[in-house]
């Protein structure tokens, strides 16, 4: 049983942007609802795949409001709330908690690369104490390939000990199974979510709570099928299928690739837009990605149209 509010497959839904790089709330709501309809347990919105760090705090807050007002259950949302600024992190965390979100996903403060475990502990402690809510559920976001600043195994343990009812889980996007395995071994009552479906079945067999994966935006039903059937004789074959898809997509820049796939299968070229400094896939690269997906017989179900 999970310690927090989530288990299963959570999807970090990408944010569609207008031509002037403003969040497109209508398209965002559409893909969020579709992803839940496809079987996802929750939505890890406003994180890396959502390009949240390319948005202002006010844009993120407004998008969260619009999503909930459109009928997406707040309890199914794990919005990213981490920022380099302590004040922004507290503001976003408080807003998500007061809105009834199931939890927040907290990056470490990633600008100061000299930050120590003590410094990161102080930062997270201030967030927990200043938000000051018994409803707050924090999922740490360990993604050293992007943030550089890690949540070390020891630091995770310190945070759990200090705030056992608040620090309830972690998304491990290190891509290093040995790190995920160590978290599962050291903290068996902690919710550990690998950041890729490559480790979904392996993680479940070792005690993980599911996974939080960017490619859930284009293959939610396939990934959910592994979670739903992981204790059956179908599990290994189902895992093999989602592994092939994931490896094909991650050979390309992930955010632009996911948006290219959505644009292609929905005949909606506006979905290709990413916010600078990111760039969309060049035409020849996008063609190569789609060719690779065709070769493995991948198809994406169309988004539901209102």
User: How many CA within 13 A on the CB side of residue 229?
Assistant: 14
Answer whether 223's CB lies under 8 Å from 239's CB: no
CA separation for the pair 193, 7 (Å, rounded): 8
Report if pTM > 0.85.
Answer: yes
Q: Where are the domains of the chain?
A: 8-232
CATH 3.20.20.70 fits 8-232, yes or no: yes
**Closest listed residue to residue 171, CA positions, set 154, 150, 188, 201:** 150
User: How many CA within 13 A on the CB side of residue 147?
Assistant: 25
Residues sharing a CB contact under 8 Å with residue 92, sequence separation 6 or more, in sequence order: 57, 60, 61, 79, 81, 83, 104
Label residues 67-76 b or e (16+ Cβ within 10 Å = b). Answer: bbeeebebeb
pLDDT at 306 over 70: no
In 10 A of CB 112, how many CB atoms?
14
pLDDT digits (tens, 9 = 90+) for 120-151: 999 999 999 999 999 999 999 999 999 999 99
Percent of the chain with pLDDT over 70: 99
Q: Is the peptide bond before 277 cis (omega within 30 degrees of 0)?
A: yes
pLDDT digits (tens, 9 = 90+) for 169-189: 999 999 999 999 999 999 999
pLDDT digits (tens, 9 = 90+) for 242-260: 999 999 999 999 999 999 9
Which helix (H) or strand (E) covers residue 141, if one does? strand 138-142
In 10 A of CB 161, how many CB atoms?
9
pLDDT class for 66, splitting at 50, 70, 90? very high
Distance between start and end Cα atoms, the chain: 36
């Amino acid at each position: 049983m999970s310690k927090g509010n989530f288990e299963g497959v959570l999807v970090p839904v990408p944010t569609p942007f207008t031509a002037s790089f403003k969040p497109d709330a209508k398209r965002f709501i559409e893909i969020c609802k579709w992803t839940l309809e496809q079987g996802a347990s929750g939505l890890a919105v406003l994180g890396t795949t959502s390009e949240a760090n390319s948005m202002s705090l006010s844009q993120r807050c407004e998008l969260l409001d619009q999503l909930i007002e459109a009928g997406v259950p707040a309890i199914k949302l794990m919005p990213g709330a981490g920022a380099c600024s302590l004040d922004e992190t507290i503001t976003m965390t408080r807003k998500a908690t007061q809105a009834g979100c199931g939890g927040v996903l907290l990056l470490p403060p990633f600008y100061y690369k000299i930050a120590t475990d003590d410094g990161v502990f102080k930062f997270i402690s201030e967030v927990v104490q200043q938000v000051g809510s018994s409803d707050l559920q924090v999922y740490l976001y360990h993604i050293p390939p992007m943030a550089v600043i890690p949540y070390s195994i020891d630091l995770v343990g310190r945070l759990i000990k200090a705030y056992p009812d608040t620090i309830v889980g972690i998304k491990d996007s290190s891509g290093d199974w040995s790190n995920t395995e160590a978290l599962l071994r050291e903290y068996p009552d902690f919710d550990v979510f690998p950041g890729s479906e490559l480790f979904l079945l392996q993680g479940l067999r070792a005690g993980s709570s599911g996974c939080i994966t960017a490619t859930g935006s284009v293959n939610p039903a396939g990934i959910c099928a592994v979670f739903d059937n992981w204790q059956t004789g179908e599990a290994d074959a189902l895992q093999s299928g989602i592994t092939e898809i994931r490896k094909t997509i991650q050979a390309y820049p992930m955010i632009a690739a996911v948006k290219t796939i959505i644009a292609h299968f929905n005949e909606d070229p506006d979905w290709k837009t990413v916010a600078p400094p990111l760039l969309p896939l060049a035409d020849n690269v996008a063609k190569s990605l789609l060719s690779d997906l065709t070769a493995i017989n991948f198809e994406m179900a169309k988004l539901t149209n209102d």
